[in-house]
Chains A and B, each alone.
Chain A
Amino acid sequence: MAEHTASPPADITGTGDGGASTPESPAKSDRAVVRDALGVGVAVGLSGFASGVTSAGSGLSLLQTCALSLLVFTGASQFALVGAFAAGGNPLTAAAGAFFLGVRNAFYGLRLSQLLALPRAVRPFAAQWVIDETTAVSLAQPTRRGARIGFAVTGLTLYVLWNLTTLLGAMGADAIGDTDAWGLDAAGPAVFLALLAPMLRTTTERAVAGIAVVLGLGLLPLLPAGVPVLVAALAAPLVLCVEGYRSGRTGGGAGRTGEAGSNGQRHSAEAEKEDR
């Protein structure tokens, strides 16, 4: 699981093959850890530019754009919120979609809390940096000292750069005017695709993605903006139930089979109801 959650972000930075995700010798030097952390922090930090441009292009003010990067500081949620505004969504459904994307950070925090063993007083301050990239770098370190250095350097580099490039991107978007003419409206979905691609490893993930696309596009003309994405999120429990039902049948777990089956039916019934 640790590998599963940590490797996609490492892959998307382009260092996944030979960089941060490859544990070297147990006696990995502090300098090597800092180098890995800086590599990830700089590469991803620069993409804050896309966040600033997309946000400003969606009609948010400079202050709102910067507040997003400073306070939310988890890229996918920021792009989701901004995209929902651009589509004219209700602010609360927009926030709900962004929130659900951020939920994965709780599971990163769970891993990191064991790994870093931070004093309780430090945790509220460290929490803002609990994201894909810091988790990937920290989990790749063989020692606690390395993990702490990796977390701190990645977090600091990313936080500073991401916010600087957000500011520059937002100011740049204001200066160039029509961001669509420059193709910058494609940056948001391209970021999502780049985050999604490394997760599509098994049939389960692909099934979830496929159903989510069908639900998200199929319900778009029928439901208020922002709601179809939330309904599409049901693809995850739906596929899990079907998977549980199947493994229950082949594995002979009679009790689980019944439970999973009725759950699956309930979810598809819900999806059908939403469809009408």
Chain B
Amino acid sequence: MNIWIAIAVTAVGCYAVKLIGLLVPAGALERPVVKRLAALLPVALLAALTAQQTFADGQALVLDAKAAGLAAAALALLLRAPFLLVVGVAVVVTAAVRAMTG
């Protein structure tokens, strides 16, 4: 039930912000500070989420096969690999390291 509530809240919230952008008069959100903040907010959230989902197990910090997978994904990104390949490399390397280390 809790999951459904969260899905509903997220769905309504995400749809609302999409619609607001289309409906508000041009210029209302065009202040430079607001735009800078809107561009930087995803950077902060994505960085924190990447780090947590790589190094966290519940509330404990761990270093496991996922770290190797993400390192490989970072390398793929540096080599300008396409999106799907980056994700694929992370999955394969994580699985391989996990299989080797038991």
Contact = CB atoms under 8 A, between A and B. Distances in A.
Interface of A: 1, 4-5, 12-14, 17, 43-44, 46-47, 50, 60, 64, 67-68, 71-74, 76-77, 79-81, 83, 85, 87-88, 91-92, 94-95, 97-110, 112-114, 118, 120, 123-124, 126-128, 130-131, 180-197, 199-200, 204-205, 208-213, 215-217, 220-221, 225, 228-229, 232-237, 239-240, 244
Contacts of B21: 105-110, 112-113, 127, 130
A181 B45 contact: no
Contacts of B77: 193-194, 197
The interface centre, meaning the residue of B51, B56, B65, B74 with most chain A CB atoms within 10 A of its CB, is B51
A256 to B, nearest CB: 11
B3 to A, nearest CB: 6
Contacts of A14: 81-83
Given A71-B15, A110-B24, A216-B48, A47 B95 contact: no
Contacts of B94: 183, 185-186
Contact of B39 (A4, A182, A210): A4
A99 B40 contact: no
Name A's interface SS: helix
Nearest to B4: A64
Nearest to B65: A183
Given A106-B20, A194-B86, A228-B52, A97 B45 contact: yes
Interface of B: 2-7, 9-11, 13-15, 17-24, 26, 29-30, 33, 35-56, 58-61, 65-66, 69-70, 73-74, 77, 80-84, 86-87, 89-96, 98
Contacts of A237: 37
Contact of A87 (B37, B52, B90, B98): B52
B27 to A, nearest CB: 9
A126 B21 CA distance: 11
B70 A196 contact: no
B7 A190 contact: no
B13 A190 contact: no
B97 to A, nearest CB: 8
5 contacts: A80-B49, A81-B10, A102-B17, A108-B18, A190-B90
A205 B39 CA distance: 9
Contact of B7 (A71, A195, A196, A211): A71
Contact of B61 (A185, A220, A233): A220
A79 B46 CA distance: 10
